[in-house]
Amino acid sequence: MTLSTAGPTRPRSVTDAFLAGLVARVPGSAGTTWNLTEVYTGDTLVELPQSAPADVERAFATARAAQRKWAATPLKRRLAVFKRAHRIFVGNARAVADLIQVESGKNRRMAIEETCDPAMVMSHYLKRAARLLRPVRRGGPVPLLTSSTEIRQPKGVVGIIAPWNFPFATGISDAIPALMAGNAVVLKPDNKTALSPLYGVRMLEEAGLPEGLFQVVCGEGPDVGPTLIDHADYVMFTGSTATGKVIGERAGRNLVGCCLELGGKNPMIVLDDADPAEAAQGAVFGAFGNTGQICMHIERIYLPESRYDEFKKAFVAKAEALDVRAAYDFGPEMGSLVSVDHMRRVKSHVDDAVAKGATVLCGGKPRPDLGPAFFEPTILEGVTKDMLCGVTETFGPVVALHRYRTVDEAVALANDTDYGLNASVWSRDLDAAHAVAARIESGNVNINDSLATAFAAKGTPSGGVKSSGVGARHGDQGLLKYTDVQNLAVLKKPVMGPRPGQDYGKYVESMLSGLKLMRRFRIR
């Protein structure tokens, strides 16, 4: 069905021939397709092939063959591919943003920012990978006569399952350290947003990534997911907590490792000395950036009684002034939700809250006049834990304001959730903000920012705690997780155990005094 509404003219780069070329690499032996649509209009963009389990198996076989050669390629040559890729990705940022926008409906400012993510990840690991992957001599149990070396081996073929909210970033950025470490990748993007990751793979191949090494399979999660997990040597999943539990369970049964980057219900605490205008501006991006579809975005704001009205006034004024519309230029400050289904889900959270007594301070409604999946930036107060949006992730442009009397109460309210992905603390006093941050149960805490500083800091691992995930991306562990450690131990002389004919008691005595000496001279 086509829900066509008059929308902006589609970007010139997004031609039928270009899209057909992109999806041609997706295997679909059963001949079934998925109608991939332009979010702003509901018009068909392309029929996306759907991969049958046999297609997924073949993708793994091809990737596995390519991986053996890739792992044997010197690291310097592997990294040279990403040096070239960095230039190609930056050079094509506008074309990538076109694809991200048509398939996700986000505004152009967010789309162009998303295009930067793989380039930033490449830059970071181009600096770190050689150091992280080189063998490290650790020393053996007996000094001089033994050695042990930590050697990093690629896992093999990494299965990546990505969501629709940052399809290019989650599809490509998480693959980069895996590939640098010598792995192959089989990626399953979300059907709605397969175009930008497909273009990312094409650009990597243009940079010299061997063909076959990076496979893309498409389909609904429950159709493609099980075969993908069953053939993967490691699973990198980004998506909802509910799906993450299914993925983690299956990976666990197969005894393969996985990294699960899941949902959040992220709090922002404004301390009483914070600048209300700055905090309100930060909250606008935190709550409405990417139309509220950022895993780290803010859904709960805790304000001191004394500053509540001041902040509320500034925040509501800013939200009401936002330029929300469909356009392929840099004008709009907020775009569409990803789909009509998702818009209905967001609406159901707001309707449920209102029915149970919450007040809408601004927004609260779909905007079919702007496009099929538009929803207004919405600020609520009076949200309680018996409401859907009081406990579960809404994942839309909906945020609730709450009052607190003491900082202890604010911290307790912020932590009163199953999630632990991101939090934001605002204060002019950095020591006070640090003290609050230290008490928040969250994998990321941003001081005087809502989310971007932590996510853009590629040198520090970023992941969730509690129900927000297992493991992390970025930082050293963002690459090392795609490797197995081989402990290569060498015994140069048979000195372990008693010498032939030695009395065992004497041997034990010398062994124990050896232990004391090693401790005294700090020998491992």
| Contacting residues toward ligand NAD, per CB under 6 A | 161-166, 170, 188, 190, 221-222, 225, 238-240, 243, 246-247, 261-264, 295, 393, 395, 421, 464, 469
CB nearer to ligand NAD: pick between 119 and 346:
346
Pairing of strands 214-216, 422-426: unpaired
Least Å distance between CB 391 and ligand NAD?
14
CB nearer to ligand NAD: pick between 140 and 478:
478
Residue 260 to residues 10, 223, 254, 391, 481: CA-CA distances in angstroms?
A: 35, 19, 16, 21, 12
Least Å distance between CB 138 and ligand NAD?
33
CB nearer to ligand NAD: pick between 230 and 278:
230
Q: Answer whether 223's CB lies under 8 Å from 471's CB.
A: no
Is 167 strand, coil or helix?
helix
CB nearer to ligand NAD: pick between 361 and 414:
414
- End-to-end distance of the chain based on CA atoms, in angstroms? 69
Q: Answer whether 44's CB lies under 8 Å from 37's CB.
A: yes
**Residues 6 or more apart whose Cβ sits within 8 Å of residue 127:** none
Where do the DSSP E strands lie in 393-520? 398-404, 422-426, 444-447, 469-470, 483-491
Task: State the SS3 of 295-341.
Answer: CCCEEEEEEEHHHHHHHHHHHHHHHHCCCECCCCCCCCCECCCCCHH
Least Å distance between CB 223 and ligand NAD?
8
CA angle 225, 231, 233 (to 5 degrees): 110
* CA 493 centroid distance within chain: 49
Q: Answer whether 366's CB lies under 8 Å from 374's CB.
A: yes
Query: Which residue in the list 113, 114, 261, 393 is annotated as catalytic?
Result: 261
261 belongs to the catalytic site: yes
**Residues 6 or more apart whose Cβ sits within 8 Å of residue 38:** 7, 10, 44, 45, 102, 103
Buried b / exposed e along 459-476 (16+ C-beta atoms within 10 A): eebbbbebbbbbbbbbbb
CB nearer to ligand NAD: pick between 81 and 260:
260
Q: Which helix (H) or strand (E) holds 257?
A: strand 257-261
Least Å distance between CB 25 and ligand NAD?
17
Name the DSSP class of 191. G
CB nearer to ligand NAD: pick between 53 and 182:
53
Q: Answer whether 458's CB lies under 8 Å from 129's CB.
A: no
CB nearer to ligand NAD: pick between 66 and 262:
262
Least Å distance between CB 332 and ligand NAD?
22
Least Å distance between CB 420 and ligand NAD?
11
State both tokens at 330.
Answer: 């840099």
- Residues serving a catalytic function are 261
